Amino acid sequence: MKRILGIDCSPKVEQAVSGLLGENDIQYEQFHDGMVLNGYQMIIMEIGQNLEHVVQQICKLRYACNFQNIPIILINSQKKDISSQPYVMAGATEVLSLSDPLPACKHIINGYLIPNREPLAEELEYLEPFIKNTCHILQTMAGIDAEFKKVYFSNTPIRIFGDVSGIMGLSGNAEGTLVVTFYWELAKMIVAKMMGTEEGSIDAELIHDGVSEIINMISGSTKKEFVGKPYHFEITLPSVVVGPGHQIGYLQNVSAAVLIFEVGSQSFALHVCINPKTTLP
């Protein structure tokens, strides 16, 4: 049984959701700031009349997910057609309409309830250096204690809902992509501590440079631990992408691990997509 949270749902939508997901534990709330979403496997939200208001709510919900891959499904109870693009860009996973055939809606929703894959023992072995070095870099460069919380492999293509991502291409004996993603306020705090200055003096350019340096240091320190192993890689020049809901391209048919860390009450994520050209012994 999955735990599902319904937000701002009218009786009409609640009835429809019960028909679609009645075998699960469904709880309903009105939207409010500071919602805690840990423990939920899906969020169902009815689309209101004010597009901008709903978009802002989706952004806040996605932030509250703390980089966990919790699907946010929007339900349109009106008969008129709407564009799903602004909602998806804000962080919604899917936009459904009650005018659509309910069996089709049920099939779509149940597809998003498939659990994320847990890492295998051999995957944890190559992920451990990334975890250790991420925590070490933030401690030595910024005096910040980052705590590793969890890892999962997504069943669906990963969209990154942070505000800024540092990207490192991996090549050589192993190839892939390494991405660190922050929300803006945490990135500003970390970069300020790296530079030994006040947060108020940190602008977008300094955050861009600081995040680039963080992914460069994580990649460089980790690659040394893979020398002589199938996962040994070379690094390219880092790049940075800014903007909520941006997407990063990964290798086809290679799973991307999402490592979630906490700094105080805030979270950030490290995405590891790596494919060895030789097999593990």
Same domain, 76 and 138: no
Q: Which structural domain, as residue segments, surrounds residue 240?
A: 121-276
Give the model's confidence band at 128: pLDDT under 50 very low, under 70 low, under 90 confident, else very high. very high
Residue 281 placed within a domain = no
Mean pLDDT of 189-216: 96
Domain end point (choices 112, 135, 162)? 112
pLDDT of 260 > 80? The answer is: yes
Q: Are residues 69 and 174 in the same domain?
A: no
**Same-domain status, 85 and 128:** no
Verify that 133 and 265 share a domain, yes or no. Answer: yes
Residue 120 has pLDDT above 90, yes or no: no
| Of residues 65 and 79, more confidently modeled | 65
Task: Decide if pLDDT at 111 tops 60.
Answer: yes
CATH number at residue 139: 3.40.1550.10
Same domain as 139, residue 51: no
pLDDT over 50 (residue 280):
no
Point out the domain boundary residue: 112, 143, 176.
112
Q: Output the pLDDT for position 278.
A: 61
CATH number, domain with residue 54:
3.40.50.2300
Mean pLDDT of the chain: 90
What is the count of structural domains for the chain?
A: 2
pLDDT in tens, 163-198: 999 999 999 888 889 999 999 999 999 999 999 999
105 and 125 assigned to the same domain: no
Q: Which of 61, 83, 112 is the last residue of a domain?
A: 112
Cβ(43)–Cβ(54) under 8 Å?
no
Q: Are residues 237 and 103 in the same domain?
A: no
Claim to verify: residue 142 and residue 263 sit in the same structural domain = yes
User: For a pLDDT cut of 90, what percent of the chain falls above it?
Assistant: 63
Residues 193 and 221 both lie in one domain? yes
pLDDT at residue 89 is higher than 50: yes
